[in-house]
A and B are shown apart, each in its own frame.
Chain A
Amino acid sequence: MNLLLDLWTVVAVVAGAFFFFAGTVGLLRFPDSLTRLHALTKADNLGLGLVVLGLLPQMESVSGGLKLVCIWLLVLVSGATAAQWIARSLRHSGPGP
């Protein structure tokens, strides 16, 4: 059972790291601000989500795990808001680089 849980942690955290990596590559390589935002939100939402899900079996207490999930939810809210806000100001200021 422990081995399975550890395996789950490794798989999920590696998958999360992959999303962070892909998001960073997208941030650096995508042509305009809107697509860069798209890449960034994937890293925030999916990457961090997978890392949190992967770390859950390693937590010693239930409240610790709940805190991790809360952090993920807060990052989801703040990431979505910031992305919306940036995209909105981009639309108002016209197509930029």
Chain B
Amino acid sequence: MIEVLNFGLAALILGLAVWIVIAREAPAAVVGFIVYGLLLTLVWLQLHGVDVALTEAAIGGGLTGVLLISAAVKLRSTESAARAQRPSRSTRWLAAGTSAAVTVALALCVLVLPVPAPTLAPEVVANIAVTEVGNPITAVLLAFRAMDTLLEAIVLVFALIGVWSLAPDGAWGGRPGPLQPADPNGMLAYVARVLPPIGIVAGVYIFWIGADHPGGKFQGATILAAMWLLVMMAGLVDAPPIRRTWLRRLLVAGPLAFIAIGMVGAVTAGAFLAYPQGFAKPLILAIEFALMPTLTLVLGLMLLGAPQRSEPP
């Protein structure tokens, strides 16, 4: 029975992927992509990757979906003009051929993988006790491969700087996005008052439980950022001007704390990002605590986009 469901899920995903590629209207393709993210979440659940499923639902479906929707809305005015410039037949064949070649190469790579696939999972399970963390994903992300997570956090801050750098000169340092018209009696204002208390508890819970169960700072930060965005979309608060010192400090606090703890490890434990014996769990928690506000701010501000309204210093 479950095989039939899995097969149906795989067929649905493949069909949807084809549909997204051939969809004519950008908004339709974006909606298809969000559904695609939700279906991928189900696939990860079937593969028992609950952590990945949570991330996929929060970031792949939710956050990327909102980003793409706002991009599609901005492109709406130029879309028909762009479609009128139909590329020549040879260009289209070249694009189709290249895409097909990449797909075939990827399929070949997957097929020639040795069975069973080489895995470090047993070593992780054997050494997880050292980190005192119950969730192997968290142990990998913050102890065994902490460098990757550090670089990931830094890349996110860089991405935000990239988004900000699209600001016109006059608006630099100002508030991102257009002013949201507030309707104090509107449905959105009501939800923006009711939902955030629940969302903040859920976000912090997912963050906290990440030490021992599926969850963690990324998924929690996405929920917190969504609550922040909801309040801003309802017009109850305005987006902060990006020149604010507290904002800049919080944005670099996470990666800086991560690097500082890594440096401490270099002195006390003999390697950058190594944790001294017995201090692994408190240090991992400290890193997660420091990264949480940074991630929330980065994810929220990235959706708000480049500053558009100038703000006196």
Q: How many A-B residue pairs have CB under 8 A?
A: 14
Interface extent on B, as a size class?
Answer: under 10
Residues from chain B with Cβ under 8 Å of A84 in the complex: 187
Assess whether B66 is interfacial by the CB under 8 Å rule.
no
Q: Are B198 and A74 in contact (CB under 8 A)?
A: yes
Q: Are A85 and B187 in contact (CB under 8 A)?
A: yes
Q: Are B198 and A81 in contact (CB under 8 A)?
A: no
B202 CB to nearest A CB, Å: 9
Assess whether B194 is interfacial by the CB under 8 Å rule.
yes
A24 CB to nearest B CB, Å: 13
Interface string of A42-80 (1 = CB under 8 A from B): 000000000000000000000000000000001001101
Decide if the interface of chain A is mainly helix, strand, loop or mixed.
Answer: helix
Assess whether B188 is interfacial by the CB under 8 Å rule.
yes
Residues from chain A with Cβ under 8 Å of B187 in the complex: 80-81, 84-85, 88
CA distance A88 to B187 in the complex (A): 10
Interface string of B186-198 (1 = CB under 8 A from A): 0110110011001
For residue A83, which residue of chain B has the nearest CB? B187
CA distance A81 to B198 in the complex (A): 16
For residue B187, which residue of chain A has the nearest CB? A84
- Give the interface of B toward A (CB within 8 A): 187-188, 190-191, 194-195, 198
Closest 4 CB pairs of A and B: A84-B187, A81-B191, A81-B187, A85-B187
Q: A81-B188, A81-B191, A85-B188 are in contact. List 11 more A-B contacts (CB 8 A).
A: A74-B198, A77-B191, A77-B194, A77-B195, A78-B191, A80-B187, A81-B187, A81-B190, A84-B187, A85-B187, A88-B187
5 of the cross-chain contacts (CB-CB < 8 Å) are A78-B191, A81-B188, A81-B190, A84-B187, A85-B187
